[in-house]
Amino acid sequence: MKKILLVFMLGYLLPLVSLAQDTEAETLLKSRSNFFSREIVQIAPDVYTAVGYSPANSSMIVGDDGVVIIDVGMSPDHAADIEAAFQEISQLPVKGIIYTHGHGDHTGGASAFIGDEAPEIWAMENFGIEDSPLIAAGLTIQRQRGSKQAGFALPDELRINNGIAPAMRPGNANPFSANESGSINTMPTHTFAEGRKQIEIAGVTLELVHAPGETNDQLYVWYPDQKTLFAGDNLYRSFPNLYAIRGTPYRDVFAWVESMDKMLEEDAEAVVPGHTYPFIGIEESRGALQNHRDAIKFVHDKTVEGMNAGMTEDALAATVRLPEHLASDPNLGEYYGKVSWAVRSIFNGYLGWYDGNPANLSPLSRKEEALRIAALAGGAEILLETAKSALANGDVQWASQLSDYLLALNEGNNEAKNIKADALTIQARNSSNALARNYYLTIANQLRQEAGSE
């Protein structure tokens, strides 16, 4: 109780919260930084990966008369550091660039690798497909939400990392899609539609394989001579982000499993994930691929099984859990993705928003429900005192939900905003999921500013 009251008694002063002793979750999240500390890792005799220079890994394969770069970092600033580090290993020109998918943290730095001789730039034919329908519809909210999940609006002292990457900022590049930087074209010059495409650049033979998963434009790169696989964002040292809380079109989880099966068939001796330290050695590489594949398939199959049994989305999110041998795998901790988020996404991806309960076909509005909850409690003042009590007793999720009722009744209720801000702060500090932590703290900050308490 003493620890909970300490946070509550801070009087909504967020800067003081950051000075408190680390929680167990914060200590665990800080330990994650060891998996993406800044380092050039030699994967094979002519293969090198830059880890920690940018949120996403960037790799270099040294060929006969040039080099091939796989993913290029989030911004030209980050990529310039990567390019300088790679130059210490090889001064050969960049002959080819491969984008594993269209996310900006993998594509935004391309201009730093493009010299006088324009390289081939390879990607899937549907490159950028995740964001393009949202842009076509005029949606921009996913970018605001993406900033919240990444913690871009938070002060540096409140950011730890992003679970699978250092807590960096996007710099001077669009963080959501590859783009043209000045007069330098960084968009793909070569694409393929599906299946497997063999290419040769600088005397290096590579196989590009369509592997939908985190995005539908995902590919993996297979380097058969060195038995090295570049997995893109279909693999990293965390439970995968089968759903991103910034908002995305449905990520085809069943197809993701099939892509993992294809990667397993390569029998790689090293696997370079899109983020975090590479897996080196046959045993480690296969173990990581197998467990990630099995975890994704388990969550998919258990969700479908529950759906067929008539379970609701909420019931499934509360009950589907990884089996112990997968839950105990440190490479499947929920530092970036979460099982419950994945379950909800799979349910909605297959059946949409309706959970099968006819009471939810025409539910009360939040305000109408709040009016009835307040009446049931004995009035809005008692509801407010109940929210305060819930917060003081550490029942922070309930305190947050009660605050939402109070704000539905009166959106200018500063006491409710401060209660919710404190509840979210406690939830953030006790979450080892970096995206959840960032979102909790960002909204808590916003509520305090609206209430004039920061």
Please give the pLDDT value at position 3. Answer: 38
Query: What's the rounded mean pLDDT across residues 286-300?
Result: 98
Strand order in the sheet with 204-210: 196-201, 204-210, 219-223, 228-232, 270-273, 279-280
Please give the pLDDT value at position 71. Answer: 98
**Mean pLDDT of the residues in the chain:** 93
What is the spatial distance between Cα 28 and Cα 387, in angstroms, rounded to a whole number? 30
At residue 82, φ and ψ (nearest 5 deg) are -65, -45
Say if residue 321 is exposed, middle or buried (CB neighbours under 10 Å; 0-12, 13-18, 19+). middle
CATH superfamily of 37-351: Metallo-beta-lactamase domain (3.60.15.30)
Cα–Cα–Cα angle for 249, 74, 440, rounded to 5 degrees? 60
Q: Label residue 184 by pLDDT band (50, 70, 90).
A: confident
2-27+364-451 matches 37-351 in fold = no
Please give the pLDDT value at position 116. Answer: 85
Share of the chain above pLDDT 70, in %: 93
CB 111 within 8 A of CB 206: no
Query: What's the rounded mean pLDDT across residues 44-66?
Result: 97
pLDDT at 26 over 60: yes
CB 424 within 8 A of CB 14: no
Please give the pLDDT value at position 181. Answer: 47
Query: Where are the domains positioned within the chain?
Result: 2-27+364-451, 37-351
CB 392 within 8 A of CB 3: no
Q: Label residue 453 by pLDDT band (50, 70, 90).
A: confident
Q: Per residue in 215-253, pLDDT tens?
A: 999 999 999 999 999 999 999 999 999 999 999 999 999
Q: Per residue in 323-362, pLDDT tens?
A: 999 999 999 999 999 999 999 999 999 999 999 999 999 9
Query: What's the rounded mean pLDDT across residues 426-439?
Result: 98
E strands of 33-138, at which residues? 39-44, 47-51, 58-62, 67-70, 94-98, 120-124
Please give the pLDDT value at position 183. Answer: 60
String of DSSP letters for 369-380: HHHHHHHHHTSH
Q: Per residue in 358-403, pLDDT tens?
A: 999 999 999 999 999 999 999 999 999 999 999 999 999 999 999 9
Please give the pLDDT value at position 330. Answer: 96
**The CATH number, out of the four listed (1.25.40.880, 3.30.460.80, 3.40.710.10, 1.10.150.670), of the domain defined by the range 2-27+364-451:** 1.25.40.880
